[in-house]
Amino acid sequence: MSADFLVYGSYGFTGSLAVEQALSRGLSPMLAGRRAEPVERQATEFDCPHRVFSLEHPTVIADQLDDVDVLLNCAGPFSSTAEPLVSACLATGTDYIDVTGEYEVIDRIADLDRDAEQAGVTLLPGVGFDVVPSDCLAASIAGELPEATTLELAIDGGTTISQGTAKALVEGLGSPGAIRQDGRIEHVPVASKRRQIDFGDGPKPTMTIPWGDLVTAYHSTGIGDIEVYTAVPGPAITVMRRTRPLGPVLRAQPVQRLLKRLVEATVTGPSAEQRAENVCHVWGRVSNEDGDSVTGRLRTPDPYETTRLTTVEAVSRLLDDSVSSGFQTPATAFGAGFATEFDEIERIDRD
| Residue 52 neighbours by CB under 8 Å, 6+ apart | 32, 33, 34, 35, 36, 39, 40
Interatomic CA distance for residues 30 and 51, integer angstroms = 7
| Residue 329 neighbours by CB under 8 Å, 6+ apart | 124, 126, 131, 135, 216, 217, 219, 220
Q: In 3-state terms, the chain is what percent helix, strand and coil (to 5)?
A: 45, 25, 30
**Identity of the amino acid at 80:** S
Domains of the chain (ranges, CATH numbers): 5-129+305-335 (3.40.50.720), 132-302 (3.30.360.10)
Question: At residue 31, what are phi and psi to the nearest 5 degrees?
Answer: -90, 140
Closest CA to 136 of 343, 294, 348, 336: 336
Residues 36-58 have pLDDT tens digits of 999 999 999 999 999 999 999 99
Interatomic CA distance for residues 326 and 117, integer angstroms = 4
Contact 213, 125 (CB under 8 A): no
Interatomic CA distance for residues 57 and 67, integer angstroms = 18
Q: How many alpha carbons lie under 13 Å from residue 302 in its C-beta half-sphere?
A: 19
Given this model, what pLDDT does residue 124 score? 98
How far CA 108 is from CA of 6, 103, 253, 257, in Å, comes to 22, 9, 23, 25
Q: In terms of pTM, does the model score above 0.85?
A: yes
> Mean pLDDT per segment of 10 residues, for the chain of length 351 residues?
88 96 97 98 97 97 97 94 98 97 96 98 96 97 97 82 55 73 92 88 89 97 96 61 59 70 68 80 97 96 95 97 94 98 89 46
Alpha helices in 113-178 (DSSP H): 113-119, 132-144, 163-172
DSSP-based three-state secondary structure for 171: helix
Question: At residue 207, what are phi and psi to the nearest 5 degrees?
Answer: -140, 155
Given this model, what pLDDT does residue 351 score? 46
Interatomic CA distance for residues 300 and 340, integer angstroms = 9
User: Do β-strands 50-52 and 95-98 pair in parallel, antiparallel, or remain unpaired?
Assistant: unpaired
| Residue 349 neighbours by CB under 8 Å, 6+ apart | 200, 295, 296, 297
Contact 214, 138 (CB under 8 A): no
